[in-house]
Structure 1
């Protein structure tokens, strides 16, 4: 709660929920702006840069310990120019300095803490720092005092260090090479995942465990097209994430990561992008297995997104905090007697047995609901679901979780794609309605003249769109086109893809830069290819460029797609498993594809076409009718050659470089 007696700093005029959380700190914060750096040059002070986001638990901890402390604030205000950045509003700033932190320390995360010279070059990087040194960890107070003294006595050493760091990063960016994508990259990625796979609890590597759903999407497709053995890893992981506390069994939705190997103890923070990607993974698993549990998980997760993360205007919020009343996870935890009081003795006992709730608890004396020890976890029990609904109403009366209520273009586009995919696979119209409403929100609030903004909040759009914004929006528009074959979505996909290529693409070597050529120039202009918490913009760009070529047949999309694939193949060759979504783009290019041209299809044909799109990842469908023929020909010139007559459906199936003779019904197609 903000104390109105305190004096606000410059952040009070910002829109970012994260910056506003620090608007009443005694630290004399600046937002990221040229005026802050001019102040540093004029005062001849180093820059203290702090990057985080509003639902970040350790950002809150560092804020309480240090940035609300008068002593720490005094040091910062005397000796530094302090700059606060919301990583979600400025993904370019975050990416540049996170890469440097990872290069210097071997790790990354938030809060991200850096010390810069007046040219914005870092000479120190870390993540969370306690106020005072403890357990071998440098304290922020000691660090600031030491650097303040060094700035006076040995400034040249700090400046040389910053210059060397930046030059080393630039040299690393210059050492890229290209190669043709080959299937051995797919195998190497699969092998790396197989090597790190936890066969007992699912997931990859040791705790903490992250869902990394884009890697699961790759493995599911690899299982279908290359090696069925990959399927077991994914399905066991999906089951493990659901059984543990990572999944909110009462309200739906997934937390960001698990602190333990069993997926039992979550971090409790929920983000839009994780839930969007996990919906896609469970949908693909449902498509392959027809397991009802996966459909149930998808529905419950999308119910959560619709209930908690959807703005009245139709867009999606960023996520929910882990903390309430200053305690991580408090909102989600129950003691056994509480359950018995709410549900009644008999039903309450059954519920506690089902979800592993005990007197002693499994987390700090309280209980995280879970199915880790429940052998019947696949059963969707109506009684237990009714109890969960009752507990959801009860839980809603607790101290509310902070919600980051800004709408980010890239994350919104990702969730639109998830809703469209749910519509295609589950055939439930409300998911399409939600996707279309959110797409209209993007068009009205987050785009102008074929250019995108980064975020919208409280009626204000801001920030020049980055690569991930354009790539994810093109993907969402293409998904909508493949779902209902409305040419409006194809036209928008083409327009935004053109803008993306014009402003971000390196025509010489391939690859897309993180930010546009006419955007603010930072100390580095990288081409990010590694997948992080989300697939990289370069991987999504490669994927959608290939789709655009298959739909339109336009040579420019083929050329850009091939150049991008060669660039990604060169970049991913060092560690294919770090480029999970790029592997899907490679499979599109390397495995046989099919294009289906449907002329004047009936309504029932359209429903069947949607089912085909959902089931066949390498199938592209183009629908031509008397009404859209002229517009379609402008986007896909080859469709001019296909005669169309109302009421007389015709279907042409093309594979490789040849097309079969037309047939009158979809059933007559030879796959």
Structure 2
């Protein structure tokens, strides 16, 4: 390892700091790097990744720690490193380039570009030397350097054409909002559903929780048992497989096989947040305690291993330990017998399907694929698990990316708020509120604008669309869990900032970066729901919900425009926009608005408890009291007219644009909502 650090040493990102002692003279993304490229007349070698990325580690070991590679890069290029989680805008631009030029993408992302940031070559992982049909990095660097010297005009022209093509992609036509989009998506999921192991398509299989949320919502609205069954089968099989950590809990990133057995072992905060939401939703629909158990275990993992003392949530845990993928998670039968003795050891081995030959490089990923009782809690196994967990901690260490990202934290806050609303466990509300307080104190500047990440006492990065849309969603989720009007007001104010800074008033939709953000070669407008819902999909949900809660005509117009924009974006592949489709159900199916006017705190708690016990899709709830009446009226003007009757609490229900007479008895309200 080089003794003198490169220009990354002053950064906070764990990913950038991992490369700070490479012999490659890395620069962080910024003016210094591009000015140097201009001054020295060199192309830029851009490498984008993240700290828990297995193939990023491999490329670093093979190439970026290698003196021969470093010599070529330092001589002929200006090398720039980017953490995709800190700069999702930069990543989005150049990932689009890679996908357009190669037909695929991933990390590490490798881009060659001009000093004015226009790309002329893109790829992902490269070994140092050519291997089979895969070009080697040394050959690529030599060829690119020669082309830069001898064929500069063509490279510059190629970069300009690519940049122009990207800028031409941003305009999307508005579409017509119809149930046909939902039916088409459901049909695609049905055609690609794996009836044996759950999930969709062949390996590798990703959890894609927003797809499952859509299927659960659609199944309930259309009363389709087979659609519900697809979601349930997938949820069961994911838990059975090795993608779920049966010792320490929580889900890994994806499965490399059809059975969900062998995962890519990194654990991401966003996966666990979204999967918590899905299992909670499945529990609320089916009342099957199995789904509640998985959600609770996943939240236990987050609270135990991924929560900062100030309430924020860390990004990820690595797949690798001591340079080996999965080493932390696998066991041999002999280890288990030596830990528990013959009797308890054999019980544990049989329960988790362990063998002497193993199922992963000679060792065992614990799983329940062959266990017929996987859905049932086994008290004996639950008693043994803590000892295995403690033993695992002593064997080897996992790297943890302890950045706190605004967007991912907002997803986890929504999950905890949902958990409190559905399970009525105060621990989850405490976690949600503490994390939101952290976002507002440490990741929000003096003007009320969001930052991207916090680490080591420093917040950095201008917040993007995902930060705003997911945080508005989180605030609305805490409001749904508490009916505290402060959260509704905060959601409304932040939503307005999102409209002011990201909304495309001419063509519709929201840009990924703010109007006053750093200008890149083009301003992306992402709609596709990938590993997480797109910011545009989340904005659709937030606008639709806020319009219904507040009765604000301007918000309703913005919501309608956004849904039409997303309908146009989803036209070619509706299943790739499943979270946007979930938001569309509010406009395409009957809706219900409830205003509860309560006489005192005791009635407030009673009605809150009653409403939390109900699963009420496409329903908005406002709870008015003497204490919040004025604040609520400023947010939702129409609530001024709602009042108590003869000193008694009153409950107003409007459905399908028609309002019923007020109800004054809680039991009658219960009956009405159960119909």
Q: TM-score w.r.t. structure 2 length?
A: 0.97
Q: Determine if the alignment matches structure 1 residue 117 to structure 2 residue 119.
A: no
Deviation at 1:645, TM superposition (A): 7.1
**Aligned twin of 2:342:** 345
Structure 1 pair 666–104 and aligned structure 2 pair: CA distance change class (3 A): farther
**Aligned twin of 2:613:** 611
Q: Determine if the alignment matches structure 1 residue 518 to structure 2 residue 516.
A: yes
Inter-partner Cα distance in structure 2 for 1:180 and 1:635: 30
Inter-partner Cα distance in structure 2 for 1:36 and 1:645: 69
Q: For structure 1, which runs of at least 5 residues remain unmatched after alignment? A: none
Alignment of 1:642-657 (within 5 A): 642-644=642-644, 648-657=648-657
Q: Determine if the alignment matches structure 1 residue 61 to structure 2 residue 63.
A: no
Q: Determine if the alignment matches structure 1 residue 192 to structure 2 residue 183.
A: no
Q: SS of the counterpart of 1:653?
A: strand
Q: Determine if the alignment matches structure 1 residue 441 to structure 2 residue 422.
A: no
Deviation at 1:666, TM superposition (A): 3.5
**Residue deviations 1:209-250, cap 9 Å, x none?**
100001000011111112332111111111111111000000
**Residue deviations 1:528-563, cap 9 Å, x none?**
000110000000001110100111101111010001
Deviation at 1:396, TM superposition (A): 1.3
Q: Determine if the alignment matches structure 1 residue 631 to structure 2 residue 628.
A: no
1:566 to 564, 567, 571: 564
2:399 to 393, 397, 402: 402
Deviation at 1:506, TM superposition (A): 0.9
Alignment of 1:16-27 (within 5 A): 16-27=13-24
Residue 421 of structure 2 contacts residue 480 of structure 2 at CA under 8 Å; is this kept in 1? Answer: no
Residue 554 of structure 1 contacts residue 636 of structure 1 at CA under 8 Å; is this kept in 2? Answer: yes
Q: SS of the counterpart of 1:295?
A: helix
Q: For structure 2, which runs of at least 5 residues remain unmatched after alignment? A: none
Aligned residues: 665
**Aligned twin of 1:99:** 96
Inter-partner Cα distance in structure 1 for 2:577 and 2:225: 20
**Aligned twin of 1:504:** 502
Residue 626 of structure 1 contacts residue 644 of structure 1 at CA under 8 Å; is this kept in 2? Answer: no
Deviation at 1:83, TM superposition (A): 0.4
**Aligned twin of 1:533:** 531
Inter-partner Cα distance in structure 1 for 2:440 and 2:231: 35
**Aligned twin of 1:288:** 285
**Aligned twin of 1:177:** 173
Alignment of 1:214-363 (within 5 A): 214-226=210-222, 227-363=224-360
**Residue deviations 1:328-379, cap 9 Å, x none?**
0000110100001111110110110110111111111100000111111112
Q: SS of the counterpart of 1:595?
A: strand
2:424 to 415, 424, 427: 427
Q: TM-score w.r.t. structure 1 length?
A: 0.98
Q: Determine if the alignment matches structure 1 residue 491 to structure 2 residue 489.
A: yes
Runs ≥4 in structure 1, deviation > 6 angstroms? none
Residue 643 of structure 2 contacts residue 650 of structure 2 at CA under 8 Å; is this kept in 1? Answer: no
Q: SS of the counterpart of 1:107?
A: coil
Q: SS of the counterpart of 1:419?
A: helix
Deviation at 1:274, TM superposition (A): 0.2
Deviation at 1:47, TM superposition (A): 0.4
Residue 73 of structure 2 contacts residue 141 of structure 2 at CA under 8 Å; is this kept in 1? Answer: yes
Residue 551 of structure 2 contacts residue 638 of structure 2 at CA under 8 Å; is this kept in 1? Answer: yes
Q: Choose 176-185 or 659-668, whichever is displaced more.
A: 659-668
Inter-partner Cα distance in structure 1 for 2:657 and 2:608: 25
Q: SS of the counterpart of 1:392?
A: helix
Inter-partner Cα distance in structure 2 for 1:61 and 1:29: 17
Inter-partner Cα distance in structure 2 for 1:413 and 1:131: 39
Alignment of 1:75-154 (within 5 A): 75-154=72-151
Residue 563 of structure 2 contacts residue 584 of structure 2 at CA under 8 Å; is this kept in 1? Answer: yes
Deviation at 1:400, TM superposition (A): 1.5
Residue 565 of structure 1 contacts residue 586 of structure 1 at CA under 8 Å; is this kept in 2? Answer: yes
**Residue deviations 1:270-315, cap 9 Å, x none?**
0000000001111111112222211111111100000110000100
Residue 277 of structure 1 contacts residue 418 of structure 1 at CA under 8 Å; is this kept in 2? Answer: yes
Inter-partner Cα distance in structure 1 for 2:304 and 2:420: 18
RMSD over aligned Cα, in angstroms?
A: 1.1
Q: SS of the counterpart of 1:451?
A: coil
